[in-house]
Amino acid sequence: MHKNNIVIGAAVLILLAGIWVFTRSSFTHPLPLAEGESIASWDLQATNQDGGELEKKANDQITRLEALLGGDQSGKDDDPTDYSLYVGIANQYELLGDGRRAYEYLGRAAAIDPDYTGLAWHNLGTLMVTLGALKTARTAFAKAVEAQPDVSQFHIARLEFLVDRFAEDTSAVEGAFQEAEAQFGDDASILQVKAAWYTKTLRYQDAITALETMKRVMGGRDADIDREVARLKALL
């Protein structure tokens, strides 16, 4: 009887392992690569892949975080949610230079809570920029704003990305600024990005107006803004 119990127990373990493998392999990432895009290399610049203490620390942290998965998901009493654990594991894989695994775990986080928490989407956008998938990154930054439109950080990250990579897509950039301004009005950080966009697209008078509004919002005195306004006026 004891031998039979051992055999049954082993069979159950094998079955559970099979379910776990199937679940992982059947995962559908919520941010597929945009049409026409591919990743030339998933390798990132690794800060902790030193073959020694830092690498061991990152791998130990991954092991520790994975062991915490499956808690009560309340986030209370130091019991982290799977969402935060997946984001944390992805961060460790980035430190190890493993972009593919970072992408996987951020996707797992986004799949848990796609509509209300923008952090995973924001991090996916940053990761995709690093990996050179700019159209995919654009989608990720937009989803971060959709998930949490009341978080200025996500708007600013999206705006900075669009101004840096898609400055000539006027309708998209203007639409993103309108969304941000609807939430936050005349915000100094948003105005700074807007001034940078106007300057980049040679709209110097619009840039001056944005900077002067930014100066007013910040209390009316700023030598750096005054110097930039003077520089732009000389270009008119």
CB environment 141-171: b (16+ within 10 A), e (fewer): bbbbbebbbebeebbbbbbbbbbeeeeeeee
pLDDT of 50 higher than 80? no
pLDDT band at 12 (very low <50, low <70, confident <90, very high): very low
Q: Is residue 126 part of a domain?
A: no
Question: Does residue 19 have a pLDDT over 60?
Answer: no
Residue 90 lies in a domain: yes
| 221 found inside a domain | no
Domain contains 92: yes
Average pLDDT of the residues of the chain:
90
Q: Does a structural domain hold residue 35?
A: no
Residue 80 domain flag:
yes
pTM: 0.86
Residue 51 located in a structural domain: yes
Q: What's the pLDDT band for 4 if we cut at 50, 70, 90?
A: low
**Region of poorest pLDDT, from 26-30, 180-184, 210-214:** 26-30
In angstroms, rounded to a whole number, what is the distance separating the alpha carbons of residues 176 and 174?
5
Q: What percent of the chain has pLDDT over 90?
A: 79
Residue 164: inside a domain = no
Q: Which domain covers residue 71, as residue numbers?
A: 41-112
**pLDDT, position 52:** 84
> Nearest-CA neighbor of 112 among 92, 138, 86, 93?
86
pLDDT band at 33 (very low <50, low <70, confident <90, very high): very high
3-state secondary structure (DSSP) of residue 3:
helix
Q: What is the DSSP string of 63-96?
A: HHHHHTTTS-SS--TT---HHHHHHHHHHHHHHT
* Number of domains into which the chain is organized: 1
What is the 8-class DSSP label of residue 32? P
